[in-house]
Amino acid sequence: MDFLDPRKRRARRIRLLISYFVMSAAVLVGTTVLVYSAYGYSFNTKSGDITQNGLLFVDSKPSGAQIYLNGKLLNQASGARLNLPNGSYNLRLAKAGYNDWQRPFVLKPHSIVRFVYPLLLPKTPVVSSLQVYGAPPGLISQSPDHHWLVVQPPPASAALSLDIYDATALDQPKQVLGFPTGLFTNLAGGGLREVEWSSDNRHLLVAHDTGRSSEFVLLDRISPADSVNLNDFFGVAPSQVALRDKKFNQFYLFDQTAQTIRTANLNDRSPGGVLISHALSFKSYGPDLITYATDRNEPAGKTMIKLANRGKSYNLMEVARAPVYLMDAAQFQGHWYYAIGSSAQSRLNIYKDPLNNLANQAIARAVPLLYLELASPQSVSFSTNDRFIGAQGAAGFATYDIETDSKYSYSLQLPLSGPLSWLDGHRYVGLSQGNILVVDYDGTNPQLVGASLLNTGGYLDPGSSHLFAPTSRDGSTVELQSIDLRAGPDLPH
């Protein structure tokens, strides 16, 4: 019998040992490959080289766009997750009927790059008319949720009338709102401008500029009879009014001549006492935070930008005296970021949670996280998702991406009719030679969409499928248009 034969038993043991060794080697190699793959390594079977990989996420609106990397078409459409060797790439997204979207990028070892925001715009947009007006509207505005488009039809009269369009139901007729006579002083003698919307998307604060002064009126979109002239209600003539924490019934009143900031509430007809004095300008955030400029106790030609919180003020940044002080703040991923500067100098400081350090440490002023360089800056603002800080000046743009800790500096070749504003969380919109310009936060993919009379370009609907803008075809009448951002098979049948 074989198991009694010593030679055969020995041969069997050898075969078993060899099998165990081969299996162990295979397990070891497999485990090594899996571990290295998990850490972003791959093995090139042709060259024998081990490369370090990164992850690329690509998506677009509309979906289904073809993906090209360095000119090569991949067999995956947008919405893909790609494991790629580290290196430099040029990404291009293409779909029939749309302009291409592209951007160069560097994929570092073990890193993750996300391009999930691309918006493909049509080559030949389909345009439809919402309304024809005999002259340019006096006011055009949109609620923060992009749901409601508000238009003041011409001509202006003693009683305000507004056309309300539902951006989510363009097939529905507009709603015409009539406001009480006497809400404004000589409405026909001056224009309306938007100040800000409340967070309820119902109340709109507007200023009526008559040339010598301004009156501030809170408009109620749902109940026009409940609209309030704040100058009359509080018995004041403020230079500026801001909503406190975006609440429709709470305000900050700024008197530029007296250099004072006071609070006010619709539950009390009398404004509160002076909250801040010696203020040259200000901006508020949340229920208690205010940044303001003051030259009190400052050297000649200098101004201090301060941060006020619950009755205490802290120094943020000393800037050169200027006509414009740049101040904005927003909360992103649980942290407060501030952008501070002056139009007289080319440096804008970015701060992260400055109040934490200022309140807990005995320091003279806040320490910036970083700064942006831009000649003669005129404005600074956060994108609608608060991820990007964008500054604009006569020479160009500077942007900081908080999420990736990246800075961009660029100028646009297309002439601009005015400053750009944030279209959404990743794009600017504005006007170039009578056409709507849409451009990504870093200056890439500038595209002209359609005609507009607004320096701000146009307004986007909640689904990012339509742009609304007024335009003139014959030089006299004005047509409020809906520009469809879909093309080809994405258009409704």
239-262 pLDDT per residue, tens: 999 999 999 999 999 999 999 999
Q: Is the CB of residue 93 less than 8 Å from the CB of residue 120?
A: yes
For position 473, what pLDDT does the model report?
Answer: 76
For the domain spanning 53-115, the CATH number is: 2.60.40.10
Q: State the burial class of residue 423 (Cβ atoms within 10 Å of its Cβ: 0-12, 13-18, 19+).
A: buried
Which positions of the chain have pLDDT values less than 70?
1-9, 11, 16-17, 19-22, 24-51, 189
Q: Which of 376, 313, 372, 364 is nearest to 339 (CA)?
A: 372
Give the Cα separation of 398 and 377 in Å (integer): 9
For position 44, what pLDDT does the model report?
Answer: 47
Give the Cα separation of 278 and 261 in Å (integer): 9
Q: Is the CB of residue 119 less than 8 Å from the CB of residue 60?
A: yes
Sorted by where each begins, the domain ranges of the chain are 2-38, 53-115, 124-136+412-493
Q: Is the CB of residue 355 less than 8 Å from the CB of residue 309?
A: yes
Q: pTM for this structure?
A: 0.88
Give the Cα separation of 174 and 170 in Å (integer): 9
